[in-house]
């Protein structure tokens, strides 16, 4: 995971990252009272497996954080479209009681919206007026460890139950009707640097969830819990006990030399290869699931410590890789690594999308794609992981792969990307994927640092932004079949939050300066904008109630790039 | 229990005793009382670190007002051997996680009192300049109040600050995840002296 708050990027990344770490004490909001307690809507129905599987074709509901099991974030309705989006107006604004970074993707079921905030509050509201049904506040344990804000990215739903991961590394099941806790289970030890911010995914009665902690020396994983009672069903470690040294790759996935001293690494590895328990590889964004082949796809984050590689010789598998595992057993199927032995924190984060694209011979095939911090979109054959192509760079790249030094070596992109955790969206008709990118020139610094014992930030150096060098964002459309950039929209600040595409051939994206914008999906022409008054750094969702389409997005700002904080979800519709 | 033969207290002595008691009591209760489960542990701590964690000796750091997160992690490091000190090692060894958290909570809520350090104005100025140059406030914040795992150092004992910087520089203390050893490696003995003067003089 990589994340640096702007205050910290301004000088020493180490510093600002640190202030996001804390005990639960004193962090909370005051006056978190509830506005109303309207009786729960009778329209709230249990979500069946069939509904979850067919979500991609259901314009009424938004029941996966990324729209469907394929994570396409492609909304199938077209009532709001490129021709009329200019008339979009706010329908209501829902204010939470928590003024802090919002990264939530609301879930909507028959007009009932479930949204989350920092510090693991959940609200159930009426998705037409914003009236509140219930408000749940997680009782936080005494220890929480997280690098980049007390974020939460949303709930998953199955049957009548919501599932949320918490900052104190628990999985909580809530009754959707009332917000009552049905069960909770400890996923991992927060005192060792584990925490949860991702939205889980539920499939076939299993709740799948990974972990944060790549900055703290965790051993990453994806775990499956029984949706009924929270019992652990299987664990797949993103760091294998044996074989994490890999193939001693010289080049990255795009064929560029990473300047590794393989001989020195091999010698170090021969002396000590026992570091797998602290090698990182957090899996902190929602996996994609292919029900046809019963396969779970995700990307694994950076090795720990981020910049000091000498202490962890080898390719550090499966860090910085796309990984496919068996849904029923959690067993390995394949992996494809982007950067072996990463020392830049340019890890793989943005959720995998399952779609189709032309292979090298021009035949349309099933693919799994990922938007990287490197600024490339990587397109893999879904059954084998073979890399079919990678896109043109979406952001400037310079001096790759210069090794970090004590005094700092400049390289682009900076450690936040490219594409950070922000989910991409696709438009299959137009053959495009849309990615929110950052451009932050940085210098990379290395510092010798033994494992500090968990839950202490362990970067092994720092990444620093460069005073005087402009930072910006890029919303970029990439052709899936060619890898060419179709269009690009520059923004004044780096982009974090994620994209929504719709069958109305619009792309929605938010900015740190409060603008929430709609673009023509084909050309990138800006069609509409609205200023939400706080950073729009969350992915938008869309749904219909009583035949009317709505678009919802959180405007809570962002800890990582220090975008102005807010506490609201804005919901838009045509009059 | 007082012996039968001890003469009764004079009025002045009674007054003095009462006054002393009030003073001591005020110092000891510079914040909320400890959880009953750690009362005896707090007594052990304050024997060196002073009532409420306001130590009067530069050999022992002031704990009053220190960030709870930092106190907890240091106790954990003493217990698990990542930080070493002949006095602290045996004290931390038997502590449970709950006790360490409760102790951290207690001392973090006590009010810090000035140590009475008398600084050299020229050294303070030089220390302030050095602090800005090596970006101390990026982590420790302005006025060195700290945040979460980054300690509060404002008004800490001059001798203690000086020793820690020297220990980081010489890598005798290495439980900092590399951040302080990196910065301290660039400091001269004069820099350390000036920084200690500057920070100890903050209030």
> Distance (Å) from the C-alpha of residue B58 to the closest C-alpha of chain A?
26
Reported as a single tens digit per residue, the pLDDT across A355-393 is 999 999 999 999 999 999 999 999 999 999 999 999 999
Q: What is the value of ipTM here, to two decimals?
A: 0.77
d(C-alpha A463, C-alpha B163), whole Å:
29
Q: Are A136 and A144 in contact (CB under 8 A)?
A: no
CB-based contact, A186 to chain B, within 8 Å: no
Q: Please return the burial class of B15, using the count of CB atoms within 10 Å of its CB with bins 0-12, 13-18 and 19+.
A: exposed
Categorize the per-residue pLDDT at B182 as very low, low, confident or very high, splitting at 50, 70 and 90: confident
Q: Of the candidates A269, A406, A185, which has an alpha carbon nearest to the alpha carbon of residue A260?
A: A269
- A458 interaction partners in chain B (CB closer than 8 Å): 177-178
DSSP A446-477: E-------SSS---SEEEEE-TTS--EEEEEE
d(C-alpha B198, C-alpha B203), whole Å:
10
Mutate to test the interface with B, among A4, A20, A195, A447 (most CBs of B within 10 A): A447
Contact between A453 and B178 using a beta-carbon 8 Å cutoff: no
Contact between A11 and B135 using a beta-carbon 8 Å cutoff: yes
Token pair in block for residue A95? 């204010």
Which of A23-27, A114-118, A509-513, B123-127 shows the lowest mean pLDDT across its residues?
A23-27
Mutate to test the interface with A, among B177, B181, B183 (most CBs of A within 10 A): B177
State the pLDDT at residue A241: 97
Question: Residue B20 contacts by C-beta under 8 Å, 6 or more apart in sequence?
Answer: none
Nearest chain A Cα to B175, which residue?
A452
More confident residue, A164 or A467: A164
Contact between A143 and B148 using a beta-carbon 8 Å cutoff: no
Q: Which of A15, A16, A456 minimises the CB distance to B73?
A: A456
Task: Name the catalytic one among A345, A347, A505, A562.
Answer: A345
State the pLDDT at residue A560: 87
d(C-alpha A357, C-alpha A379), whole Å:
8
Nearest chain B Cα to A460, which residue?
B178
Reported as a single tens digit per residue, the pLDDT across A436-451 is 999 999 999 999 999 9
Mutate to test the interface with A, among B107, B178, B181, B185 (most CBs of A within 10 A): B178
Categorize the per-residue pLDDT at B29 as very low, low, confident or very high, splitting at 50, 70 and 90: low
State the pLDDT at residue A252: 98
Q: Is B181 left (phi over 0), alpha (psi -120 to 50) or beta?
A: alpha
d(C-alpha A351, C-alpha A347), whole Å:
12
- A450 interaction partners in chain B (CB closer than 8 Å): 174, 178
Contact between B147 and A18 using a beta-carbon 8 Å cutoff: yes
Reported as a single tens digit per residue, the pLDDT across B62-82 is 999 999 999 999 999 999 999
Nearest chain A Cα to B182, which residue?
A447
Query: What are the distances in angstroms from CA A412 to CA A104, A320, A417?
Result: 29, 17, 9
Q: What is the DSSP letter of B200?
A: H
Taken in order A244, A249, A251, A257, the sign of the CA dihedral is positive
Other residues' Cβ atoms within 10 Å of the Cβ of residue A257? 10
Q: Of the candidates A557, A542, A570, which has an alpha carbon nearest to the alpha carbon of residue A80?
A: A542
User: How, if at all, do strands A568-573 and A89-95 pair?
Assistant: antiparallel
Contact between B149 and A18 using a beta-carbon 8 Å cutoff: yes
- B179 interaction partners in chain A (CB closer than 8 Å): 14, 447, 449
Contact between B68 and A455 using a beta-carbon 8 Å cutoff: no
Which positions 302-321 of A are in contact with B (Cβ < 8 Å)?
A: 305, 308
Token pair in block for residue A191? 């005192």
> Distance (Å) from the C-alpha of residue B57 to the closest C-alpha of chain A?
29
Q: Annotated catalytic, A204?
A: no
Q: What Rg, from alpha-carbon coordinates, does chain B have?
A: 19
Q: Which of A18, A19, A452 minimises the CB distance to B175?
A: A452
Contact between A456 and B68 using a beta-carbon 8 Å cutoff: no
Instruction: Reply yes or no on whether the pLDDT at A3 is more than 60.
Output: no
Categorize the per-residue pLDDT at A37 as very low, low, confident or very high, splitting at 50, 70 and 90: confident
């Amino acid at each position: 995971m990589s994340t640096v708050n702007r205050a910290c990027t301004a000088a020493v990344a180490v510093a600002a990252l640190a202030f996001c770490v804390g005990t639960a004490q004193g962090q909370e909001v005051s006056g978190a009272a509830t506005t109303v307690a309207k009786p729960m809507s009778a329209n709230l129905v249990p979500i069946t497996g069939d509904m979850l599987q067919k979500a991609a074709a259901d314009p009424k509901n938004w029941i996966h954080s990324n729209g469907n099991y394929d994570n396409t974030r492609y909304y199938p309705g077209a009532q709001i479209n490129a021709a009329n989006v200019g008339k979009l107006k706010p329908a209501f604004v829902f204010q939470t009681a928590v003024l802090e970074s919002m990264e939530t993707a609301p879930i909507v079921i028959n007009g009932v919206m479930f949204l989350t905030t920092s510090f693991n509050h959940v609200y159930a509201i009426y998705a037409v007026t914003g009236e509140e049904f219930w408000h749940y506040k997680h009782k936080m344990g005494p220890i929480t460890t997280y690098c980049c804000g007390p974020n939460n990215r949303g709930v998953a739903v199955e049957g009548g139950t919501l599932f949320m991961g918490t900052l104190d590394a628990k999985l909580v099941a809530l009754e959707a009707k009332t917000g009552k806790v049905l069960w909770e289970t400890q996923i991992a030890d927060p005192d060792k640097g584990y925490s949860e911010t991702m939205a889980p995914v539920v499939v076939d009665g299993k709740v799948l969830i990974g972990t944060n902690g790549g900055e703290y020396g965790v051993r990453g994983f994806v775990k499956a819990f029984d949706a009924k009672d929270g019992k652990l069903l299987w664990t797949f470690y993103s760091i294998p006990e044996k074989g994490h040294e890999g193939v001693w790759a010289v080049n990255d996935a795009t064929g560029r030399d990473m300047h590794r001293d393989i001989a020195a690494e091999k010698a170090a590895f021969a002396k000590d290869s026992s570091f797998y328990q602290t090698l990182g590889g957090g899996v902190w964004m929602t996996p994609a699931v292919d029900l046809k082949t019963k396969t779970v796809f995700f990307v694994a984050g950076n090795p720990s410590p981020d910049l000091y590689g000498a202490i962890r010789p080898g390719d550090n598998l499966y860090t910085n890789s796309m990984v496919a595992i068996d849904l029923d057993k959690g067993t390995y199927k394949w992996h494809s690594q982007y950067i072996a032995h990463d020392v830049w924190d340019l890890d793989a984060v943005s959720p995998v999308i399952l779609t189709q694209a032309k292979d090298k011979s021009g035949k349309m095939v099933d693919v799994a794609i990922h938007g990287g911090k490197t600024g490339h979109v990587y397109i893999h054959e879904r059954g084998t992981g073979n890399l079919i192509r990678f896109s043109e760079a979406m952001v400037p790249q310079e001096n790759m792969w210069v090794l970090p030094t004590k005094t700092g070596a400049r390289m682009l992109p900076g450690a936040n990307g490219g594409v950070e955790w922000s989910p991409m969206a696709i438009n299959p008709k137009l053959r495009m994927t849309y990615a929110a990118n950052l451009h932050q020139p940085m210098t990379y610094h290395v510092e010798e640092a033994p494992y500090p014992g968990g839950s202490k930030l362990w970067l092994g150096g720092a990444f620093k932004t460069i005073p005087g060098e402009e930072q910006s964002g890029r919303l970029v459309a990439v052709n899936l079949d060619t890898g060419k950039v179709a269009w690009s929209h520059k923004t004044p600040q780096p982009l974090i939050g994620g994209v929504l595409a719709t069958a109305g051939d619009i792309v929605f994206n938010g900015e740190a300066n409060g603008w929430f914008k709609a673009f023509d999906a084909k050309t990138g022409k800006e069609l509409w904008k609205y200023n939400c008054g706080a950073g729009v750094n969350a992915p938008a969702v869309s749904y219909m109630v009583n035949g009317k389409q709505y678009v919802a997005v959180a405007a809570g700002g962002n800890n990582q790039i220090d975008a102005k904080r807010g506490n609201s979800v804005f919901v838009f519709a045509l009059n | 229990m007082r012996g039968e033969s001890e003469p009764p207290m004079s009025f002045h002595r009674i007054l003095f005793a009462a006054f002393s008691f009030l003073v001591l009591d005020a110092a000891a209760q510079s914040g909320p009382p400890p959880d009953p489960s750690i009362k005896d542990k707090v007594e052990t701590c304050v024997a060196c670190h002073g009532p409420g964690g306001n130590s009067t000796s530069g050999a022992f750091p002031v704990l009053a007002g220190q960030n709870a997160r930092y106190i907890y992690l240091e106790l954990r490091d003493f217990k698990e051997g990542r930080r070493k000190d002949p006095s602290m090692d045996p004290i931390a060894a038997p502590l449970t996680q709950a006790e360490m958290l409760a102790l951290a909570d207690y001392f973090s809520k006590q009010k810090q009192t000035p140590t009475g350090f008398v600084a050299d104005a020229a050294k303070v100025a030089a220390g302030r300049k050095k602090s800005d140059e090596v970006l101390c406030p990026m982590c420790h914040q302005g006025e060195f109040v700290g945040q979460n795992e980054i300690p509060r150092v404002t008004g800490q004992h001059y001798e203690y600050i000086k020793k820690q910087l020297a220990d980081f520089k010489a890598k005798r203390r290495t439980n900092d995840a590399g951040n302080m050893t990196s910065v301290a490696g660039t400091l001269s003995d004069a820099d350390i002296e000036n920084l200690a003067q500057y920070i100890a003089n903050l209030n």
